[in-house]
Amino acid sequence: MKIKNSLQDYKSLFDFSYNPEDNKWINWNLTVPAYEIPVGASYAKVIVPTIDSIRVSKVLNSLLVNKTHTLVVGPTGTGKSIMIMDELNTNFQNEDRTFLSLAFSAQTSANQT
């Protein structure tokens, strides 16, 4: 089933986010401002928003704000860890909360932690 819109056809309800202020469904791409790469940013620090990263970040933020346990799943290399760390650093690093990231591998032992 296609959802019609004056701008384009959408293939799924998952392409939309509900905006309670306007009582409307809007495309995820329209929920963030245009992206500009920060001057002097290193390649590794640039996170270009896509419809998938916008959607995951919004849902992750809602779950974290409501103190819900969260598990993000998906194929290797799709940016799950980057999106989670960006969300925690951006919206949950303040005087009430501290974000600490630890990296583990198959060789990491409990004593090293």
pTM across the whole model: 0.68
Residues of the chain where predicted confidence (pLDDT) is lower than 50 = 1, 3, 6-7
Strand, helix or coil for residue 62: helix
Q: Look up the domain containing 74 and give its range.
A: 37-102
Structural domain includes residue 76: yes
Same domain, 18 and 57: no
Same domain, 15 and 45: no
pLDDT at 99: 80
Same domain, 1 and 25: yes
Contact assessment for residue 93 and residue 63, using Cβ atoms and an 8 Å cutoff = no
The whole-angstrom distance between residue 13's C-alpha and the CA centroid of its chain comes to: 18
Q: Which amino acid is at 85?
A: M
